[in-house]
Amino acid sequence: MTRVLVVGSINMDLVVETQTFPRLGETLLGERFATYPGGKGANQAVAAARLGAAVTLIGCVGNDAFGAQLKAGLAAQGIDTRWIREAATAATGIAAITLCQADNAIVVVPGANQLLGPADLDAAEAAFASCDVVLAQLEVPLATVQHAAALASKHGKPFILNPAPASALPAALLDQITLLTPNEYELAVALGEPDAEWQTLLAALPGGVVMTKGAGGAYFSDADGTIQHQPGFKVTPVDTTGAGDTFNGALAAFWHLGLAEAAWRASAAGALSVTKAGAQGGMPRLTELDAFLRDGLQHAASTRS
Ligand code: RIB
116-143 pLDDT, tens per residue?
A: 999 999 999 999 999 999 999 999 999 9
Residue 7 to residues 197, 252, 302, Cα–Cα distance (Å):
30, 13, 32
Report, in angstroms and rounded to the nearest whole number, the Rg of the chain calculated over CA atoms.
18
The CATH number covering residue 78 comes to 3.40.1190.20
> Going by C-beta distance under 8 Å and a sequence separation of 6 or more, which residues neighbour residue 81?
57, 71, 74, 75
- Signed CA dihedral, 101, 106, 112, 118: sign only: positive
Alpha-carbon gap, residue 21 to 94, rounded angstroms? 20
Q: What is the pTM of this model?
A: 0.95
Measured by CA distance, the residue closest to atom 8 of ligand 1 is: 39
Q: Where are the alpha helices (DSSP H) in 108-225?
A: 118-123, 125-130, 142-154, 171-175, 184-190, 198-203
pLDDT for res 298: 47
Alpha-carbon gap, residue 264 to 234, rounded angstroms? 13
pLDDT for res 262: 97
pLDDT exceeds 50 at position 303: no
pLDDT for res 223: 85
Mutate which of 11, 167, 183, 276 to test ligand 1's pocket (most atoms within 8 Å of Cβ)?
11
Measured by CA distance, the residue closest to atom 9 of ligand 1 is: 39
Residue 31 has phi, psi (to 5 degrees) of -90, -40
pLDDT for res 103: 85
Residue ranges making up the domain that contains 290: 3-20+32-298
Q: How confident is the model at residue 102 (pLDDT cuts 50, 70, 90)?
A: confident
- Which atom of ligand 1 lies nearest, measured to the CA of 38? 6
pLDDT for res 224: 85
pLDDT for res 253: 98
pLDDT for res 304: 43
Could you tell me the distance, in angstroms and rounded to a whole number, from the CA of residue 297 to the centre of ligand 1?
Answer: 31
What is the total count of domains within the chain?
Answer: 1
pLDDT exceeds 70 at position 26: yes
Residues with CB under 6 A from ligand 1: 9, 11, 13, 38-40, 43, 95, 106, 108, 139, 241-242, 244-245, 279
**What is the residue type of 196?**
A
What integer best gives the mean pLDDT of the chain? Answer: 95
Whether 68 maps to a domain, the answer reads: yes
Could you tell me the distance, in angstroms and rounded to a whole number, from the CA of residue 107 to the centre of ligand 1?
Answer: 9
Q: How confident is the model at residue 245 (pLDDT cuts 50, 70, 90)?
A: very high
pLDDT exceeds 70 at position 37: yes
Measured by CA distance, the residue closest to atom 10 of ligand 1 is: 39
In the chain, what's the furthest Cα-to-Cα distance? 53
What order do you get walking across the sheet with 93-100 strand by strand? 32-38, 11-18, 93-100, 103-109
Whether 303 maps to a domain, the answer reads: no
Q: What is the mean pLDDT of residues 6-31?
A: 96
What is the tens place of the pLDDT at every residue in 179-233? 999 999 999 999 999 999 999 999 989 889 999 998 899 999 888 889 999 999 9
pLDDT for res 305: 38
- Which atom of ligand 1 lies nearest, measured to the CA of 12? 8
Alpha-carbon gap, residue 87 to 98, rounded angstroms? 28
- Which atom of ligand 1 lies nearest, measured to the CA of 9? 10
* Portion of the chain with pLDDT greater than 70, in percent: 97
Whether 27 maps to a domain, the answer reads: no
Alpha-carbon gap, residue 149 to 143, rounded angstroms? 10
- Contact (Cβ atoms closer than 8 angstroms) between residue 169 and residue 190: yes
Could you tell me the distance, in angstroms and rounded to a whole number, from the CA of residue 2 to the centre of ligand 1?
Answer: 24
Q: What is the mean pLDDT of residues 48-58?
A: 98
Alpha-carbon gap, residue 202 to 210, rounded angstroms? 8
Whether 135 maps to a domain, the answer reads: yes
Residues serving a catalytic function are: 245
Alpha-carbon gap, residue 84 to 155, rounded angstroms? 21
Whether 71 maps to a domain, the answer reads: yes
- Contact (Cβ atoms closer than 8 angstroms) between residue 244 and residue 8: no
Whether 304 maps to a domain, the answer reads: no
Residue 230 has phi, psi (to 5 degrees) of -105, 105
- Which atom of ligand 1 lies nearest, measured to the CA of 11? 8
135 strand-pairing partners? 6, 160
* Portion of the chain with pLDDT greater than 90, in percent: 91
Whether 305 maps to a domain, the answer reads: no
- Contact (Cβ atoms closer than 8 angstroms) between residue 14 and residue 69: no
Could you tell me the distance, in angstroms and rounded to a whole number, from the CA of residue 277 to the centre of ligand 1?
Answer: 13
Q: What is the mean pLDDT of residues 272-280?
A: 96
Instruction: Please report, in angstroms and rounded to a whole number, the separation of the first and last CA atoms in the chain.
Output: 25
Could you tell me the distance, in angstroms and rounded to a whole number, from the CA of residue 220 to the centre of ligand 1?
Answer: 24
- Contact (Cβ atoms closer than 8 angstroms) between residue 136 and residue 120: no
Whether 189 maps to a domain, the answer reads: yes
Alpha-carbon gap, residue 274 to 247, rounded angstroms? 11
The 3-state DSSP class for residue 24 equals: coil
